[in-house]
Structures are given as structure tokens and as C-alpha cells.
Chains A and B, each alone.
Chain A
Amino acid sequence: MSEWTKRHLLDVEELSKEEIEMVLDTARSFKEVSSRDVKKVPALRGKTVVMLFFEPSTRTRTSFELAAKRLSADTINIAVNTSSLSKGETILDTARNVEAMNVDAIVVRHATPGVPQIFAHNLKSSIINAGDGCRSHPTQALLDMFTIKEKLGRLEGLKVGIVGDILHSRVARSNLMGLTKMGAEVTVCGPSTLIPVEIEKLGAKVSYDVDKVIKQSDVMILLRIQKERQKDHFLPSIREYAIEFGVTTERLKQGKKELLIMHPGPMNRGVEISSDVADGEQSLILEQVTNGVAVRMAVLYLVLGAK
């Protein structure tokens, strides 16, 4: 694998194992750039990257923006509230207008699954999916894989547990697709109301017992439990979830000493993760954020260079 040919990054499913490896290898080199005094290289000088976010986001948007800036691209942020969408324009028209200003890449997040695909079919720019509904969040999966590989040296043969609201989580779905492709064994875990039916068909094992998952895993990815889920009757109460599934220091004692804890953020301390676990030695949560910039630099560099 020596040539990158994809002009868009829409989901993890479309990437081959070799392509995932290429992103991770490229990201390793870009991580070094962020550790310099002068955190900037001229690779994307003269390119324009637009962050078109139809859903609120701080971490992902900032991460993409820093990534683009560290490659010397120009960046623009368009947030939904301040745009003409509220005046009745369709999302495709909004994107076409943005593109008419000669931009090179559009990083898009939208609550509806498939919006990045619609953009990719109808626009000339490179489209990067920064999260579409509960379907896909490819750069999060790539940065999680990067973080695991950096720590443990490999992905193949690892046992990874993903705990939380699997049903509504694009992070869970993308990680499941990516990690199984790279040869890891993924177990999803949560209350039965929040586990999608037939998820086994995507290659996941299912468990309803977080203690069992802790005992067997090399890595655990904990997902945020949104308070709205209680209103929507998926959960009796947030407190009950915390008692049944919340990962605490006490619970972690059953697992391997080297068990790594990850969380895509934002986290609810005291719900899916206790504060001492979040800040503990096994936690990689802030390293994920650091690595996110490097992985997004790699993605921007590769898709904007594809011919």
C-alpha cells in the first residue's frame, strides 16, 4: 500500500485494512509535528477547509480546525445557528454556496445519517464525515485505534469492550467496524434496551454484564449516557445505570492491571465512569484528544492529496 486514492472519508467501512494502517502510520509522523515549538508544516498551504457543523461540537470541531491549521490550510467555521438554514435553505444549497467560494474540503457533522454521502455525491470538494447521526464517526474510530496501537503495539487479537448506549452511538458503530477489520475482538455491553438488535451480524459479541467484560478486556471504551435517554424510557434512571454499568476503581480491580480505559467524551463523571477512573493511571482519555489532532491531520493530508 503506497498510494492513497480516496477523496472523501465517509465511514470506516469503506476503508481497507491497509488504508486504515496507512492513516495510523501517517498520524504517527504528524504527532511529532504537534510536539514542536513551531507547530506548523506547509503541506496544505493554500488549501481551504470548511467546518460545516449542523450539530454542536467543541472537541471534534476544534480538533479538525487545529489539524488543518497545523498543516497551513485556511479554515472557516460554519455553525448551524448563525447560518441561513434558519431562513429555510436546504443543507445541500448551504453546502453548494460554501463550495462556490472555492473550498477544497468540507468537514461535515449532521444529525441525519447519510448527509456526508449526499454531499460527496453532489459536490466537488473532499468531504470528511465528522459524525452523521448515530451511523458513523470515522475519525473518532481512527483516533481510538491509533491510541490503542500506540499503547499496545497492535490491534490484532486484542479484546475490546464498548460499554454504554450502543444503540445511539456512532462512536460504537465505527469502532466496531474498524476494530474488527483490524482483527480485534469487540464485545458491546449495556442495558438490553440500548443494544441494537442483530448487532452480532456486524461482528460484535454482546454482554449485559460489565464485570465480565472488565475481566476479559485489554481495552474498554466507555460511552456517555445522555440524560435524555431516561426521558425516552430506555433507562429506569441514570442512577440505576451508574450502579449496574458505571466503571469504578472497585470494579476495575477484577480486570487486568494493564486494562486501558478510553472515553470519546464528553464524559459524565459518576455515571458511566467514576472520577478516580477517569483521572487514573489506566485512563487514556486525554491522550485520545491529543492523538485526535494527529489523526485528523493525517486524514486531511491524505484526502486532499488523492488524485
Chain B
Amino acid sequence: MTKIMDSDLVRRAIIRIAHEILEKNKGIAQLCIIGIRTRGVILAARIAKAIKEIEGQAVPVGILDINLYRDDLTLVGSQPIIRETLIDFDLNEQKVVLVDDVLFTGRTIRAALDAIMDFGRPSSIQLAALVDRGHRELPIRADYVGKNIPTALKQNVKVVLSESDNEEDAVYLEENK
């Protein structure tokens, strides 16, 4: 198991992503952030906090559970546990920034896009990921990336965040047997 990012790198990546989001969207007008369960939710909250520190104003933050929209629901073992989706603001004509921890095949993001479309018609949807590990199976790319990590298919990227894992922030690359 190799450590690829330590807590400082994770912290700086989040602050940089917050700046990039503000730069691209020219401020926080119509901006909202939606985290994909589980670790995307934590990252979304951290990005929103950074944006508030920079701009002095809060942006709405939502939580998305994409399991009901998965394309492999009938293939995986038993049904994944469904947790609540919490988006208590209107998505119509908003600029939505989706946040996930690792961007891999793109299938999670495909599901998230479908889910968001059921909530309304945003003017744009952008994607932020802490790690982009390549191997896309769908035509999807991230607008904001913490770190690009070239990986082999059999490897595994493990993101550790203090809020969910009770451990210092870090990103590891694991060899799968």
C-alpha cells in the first residue's frame, strides 16, 4: 500500500478546487454543490466551507445517493443499502458541482447525472473529484481534479477522510490480489 496524498496535499487540493470553482463560475451566483455518498458528501462539505471562507457567503449543499440509479443493480449480489438523498433546494437553472472522491469508470457519475435530472434542469453540471484514476468506460471527464493518479485496473485507490474513517486524511494505492 503506497501513500499518494497526505493530509496536507488533500487540504491544499480542496482549497485549490474551491478557487477553481469560483473562478470558472465567476463567484457563487446560482452555484450549488452536491456530494455523492459517502465520501463525496464529506468532500462537498469541505469545498463548501472553503468557498465560504473565500467569498464570505455560503452555497447550498446537497447529498445524493445514486444506488437506485446504478446500471448494475440487477447484476450485483443483493441490493445495496439505500440512504437518504437530501437536496432541499431547487436545481432548475442552477450551476451544480457534483463531488465524488474517486473518478474511475464514470458509471457512478452517469447514475448521478440521471438522478439530478429527476430533480430539475440545472443550467450546467460540473464534476469535481479528489482523485482521477483513469480507465473511463463512459465519455465523462472531471472539471476539477485534486490529483491525477495513473493506475492499473487491478489496483485499488483508497481514500481516507477523518470524518468517516477516524484517521488522518490520506489517499493510498493498493495492490489487489
* Residues on A facing B (Cβ under 8 Å): 2-5, 22, 25-26, 28-30, 32-33, 36-38, 40-43, 46, 71, 298, 301-302, 304-307
Q: Kindly state whether residue B2 has any CB partner on chain A within 8 Å.
A: no
A304 to B76, CA, bound (A): 12
User: Are A38 and B73 in contact (CB-based, < 8 A)?
Assistant: no
A2 to B79, CA, bound (A): 9
Count, chain B residues at interface, CB 8 A: 20
User: Are A41 and B81 in contact (CB-based, < 8 A)?
Assistant: no
User: Are B68 and A2 in contact (CB-based, < 8 A)?
Assistant: no
- A305-B85 contact in complex given A40-B118, A43-B73, C-beta closer than 8 Å: no
Taking CB atoms and an 8 Å cut-off, the chain B residues in 38-76 that contact chain A are 65, 67-69, 73-74
User: Are B83 and A3 in contact (CB-based, < 8 A)?
Assistant: no
CB distance from A70 to the nearest CB of B (A): 10
Please name 6 further chain A to chain B contacts, defined as beta carbons within 8 Å, in addition to the given A26-B81, A42-B114, A43-B73, sorted by A numbering.
A3-B78, A26-B82, A28-B84, A29-B84, A30-B82, A32-B86
Q: Kindly state whether residue B77 has any CB partner on chain A within 8 Å.
A: yes
A42 to B71, CA, bound (A): 9
Q: Find chain A residues with CB under 8 A from B73 CB.
A: 43, 305
Q: Find chain B residues with CB under 8 A from A4 CB.
A: 78-79
Q: Find chain A residues with CB under 8 A from B120 CB.
A: 37
Q: Chain B binding site: helix, strand, loop or mixed by DSSP?
A: loop
User: Are B78 and A41 in contact (CB-based, < 8 A)?
Assistant: no
Q: From the candidates A5, A28, A38, name the one contacting B78 in the complex (CB within 8 A).
A: A5
A2 to B89, CA, bound (A): 31
What are 6 A-to-B residue pairs whose CB atoms are below 8 Å?
A26-B82, A32-B85, A36-B119, A38-B119, A42-B68, A307-B77
Taking CB atoms and an 8 Å cut-off, the chain B residues in 64-120 that contact chain A are 65, 67-69, 73-74, 77-79, 81-86, 114-115, 118-120
Closest residue of chain A to B118, judged by CB?
Answer: A38
Closest residue of chain A to B120, judged by CB?
Answer: A37
Q: Find chain B residues with CB under 8 A from A46 CB.
A: 74
Q: Find chain B residues with CB under 8 A from A28 CB.
A: 84
A3 to B120, CA, bound (A): 32
User: Are B119 and A2 in contact (CB-based, < 8 A)?
Assistant: no
CB distance from B109 to the nearest CB of A (A): 16
Q: Find chain A residues with CB under 8 A from B82 CB.
A: 26, 29-30, 298, 301
Closest residue of chain A to B85, judged by CB?
Answer: A32
Q: Find chain A residues with CB under 8 A from B86 CB.
A: 32
CB distance from B113 to the nearest CB of A (A): 13
Closest residue of chain A to B67, judged by CB?
Answer: A43
Interface centre among A29, A298, A301, A307 (most CB of B within 10 A): A29
A42 to B83, CA, bound (A): 16
User: Are B68 and A41 in contact (CB-based, < 8 A)?
Assistant: yes
Closest residue of chain B to A41, judged by CB?
Answer: B68
User: Are A41 and B69 in contact (CB-based, < 8 A)?
Assistant: yes
